């Protein structure tokens, strides 16, 4: 049986391959608990931001083109079949990213320092400041996903009853929140990577 035939088989095979590579190369790093939390955070974050970029760079422009193509199939297929599934993965990946990020900072004893941007120590905790910028941006982005994007997308996709005016307003709100998250994702990723590599601030 080829593991590539199913998404679960592919993911399990990828995980097994990563474990084999880590064992063979004897990578040193955080404790096993910290490593599991960290890599879960990274995997969830890649899923979240990957879907954020998919929505902004692929789906929204494609829906616009489909709506204006008189001879085409229209945007219904994406709205009915693709968007709900993508939004399911998107919102839960956002939550998993935030929770595992907070858990990793807690594991390192840096959760409070990060949300204080390292300004609560003397001298300033540079790691906490850098990772804290990312943590705050991620928190704002998580809020946007669950409070602005998801409730409004339910109206746009017809999952919640709404008038034409409410749908138009929901589209705009979800669009602006999604674009705001795309904007914030750039410095957020920079600070998350920078914290572990001693640069950014």
Mean pLDDT by 10 residues, the chain (201 residues): 92 88 67 83 96 95 86 82 95 98 96 97 94 97 98 96 97 98 96 81 50
Distance CA 189, CA 196 (A): 11
Quote the pLDDT of residue 74: 77
Quote the pLDDT of residue 26: 64
Contacts of 86 (CB under 8 A, 6+ apart): 51, 54, 55, 59
Quote the pLDDT of residue 186: 96
Distance CA 115, CA 120 (A): 10
Distance CA 164, CA 155 (A): 10
Quote the pLDDT of residue 53: 97
Quote the pLDDT of residue 70: 83
Distance CA 187, CA 198 (A): 15
Distance CA 130, CA 128 (A): 6
Quote the pLDDT of residue 85: 95
The answer to whether 152 and 173 have CB atoms below 8 angstroms apart is yes
Quote the pLDDT of residue 21: 82
Contacts of 71 (CB under 8 A, 6+ apart): none
pTM (two decimals): 0.89
Quote the pLDDT of residue 151: 98
Query: Phi and psi at residue 88, in whole multiples of 5°?
Result: -60, -55
Quote the pLDDT of residue 22: 76
């Amino acid at each position: 049986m080829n593991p590539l035939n199913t998404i679960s088989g592919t993911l399990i095979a990828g995980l097994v391959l990563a474990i084999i590579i880590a064992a063979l190369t004897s990578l040193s790093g955080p404790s096993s608990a910290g490593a599991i939390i960290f890599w879960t955070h990274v995997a969830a974050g890649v899923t979240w931001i990957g879907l954020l970029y998919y929505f902004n760079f692929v789906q929204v422009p494609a829906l616009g083109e489909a709506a204006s193509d008189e001879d085409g199939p229209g945007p219904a297929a994406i709205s009915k079949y693709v968007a709900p599934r993508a939004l399911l993965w998107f919102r839960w990946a956002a939550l998993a990213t935030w929770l595992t990020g907070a858990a990793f900072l807690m594991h390192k004893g840096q959760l409070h320092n990060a949300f204080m941007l390292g300004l609560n120590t003397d001298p300033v905790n540079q790691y906490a400041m850098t990772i804290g910028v990312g943590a705050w941006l991620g928190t704002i982005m998580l809020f946007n996903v669950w409070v602005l994007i998801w409730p409004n997308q339910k109206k746009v996709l017809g999952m919640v009853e709404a008038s034409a005016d409410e749908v138009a307003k929901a589209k705009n709100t979800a669009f602006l929140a999604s674009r705001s998250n795309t904007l914030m994702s750039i410095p957020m990723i920079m600070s998350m990577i920078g914290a572990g590599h001693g640069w950014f601030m």
